[in-house]
Structures are given as structure tokens and as C-alpha cells.
Structure 1
Amino acid sequence: MNATSGNRKPRLDHLLTERGLAESASQAQRLIMAGLVYV
């Protein structure tokens, strides 16, 4: 199953960027991978 088919959830890295918690999507991805983001 394709991850984008029927999945309308926003990406976490994009949400962090939109909310000003990360300067870029790549920085947000690094924060997520480092385990520094809690949901």
C-alpha cells in the first residue's frame, strides 16, 4: 500500500516548520530522528 494513498495526515517535519519550531524541514527531520520531538 502506498503511504500517500488515502493518507491525509500532515507530515510532522512540515508541521514543525510551519509552527516555527524548526527553521527548515531538514532541521525538523534531524530533530525527529534524534528523538527530540515528542508527540
Structure 2
Amino acid sequence: MLPLALALPDRFAVAAAAVVTQTLVEVVGMLVYMGCR
């Protein structure tokens, strides 16, 4: 989903930013979860 979001036109910049933010939150959450085990 991330490459698709980054390929969107400028008028969809907010949607692209939301997808990038969601991806970063998921990665950080996974790292925290893995680190706490």
C-alpha cells in the first residue's frame, strides 16, 4: 500500500501522509511489541 500511496498525485497528499504515518506507527508498534517479549 505504501508505494501506491507515494505514487498518488499532489492533490492526494493528505491520503499519502496518512498511509505513511500508519505504516510508521505499525512498524514502531511491532518493534515495541517484539522488544517487550
Whether TM-score is above 0.5 comes out as no
- Please give the TM-score of this superposition, normalised by the length of structure 2: 0.37
- Please give the TM-score of this superposition, normalised by the length of structure 1: 0.35
Q: Larger C-alpha radius of gyration, 1 or 2?
A: 2
Structure number with higher relative contact order (C-alpha < 8 Å, ≥ 6 residues apart): 2
Bigger share in helix: 2
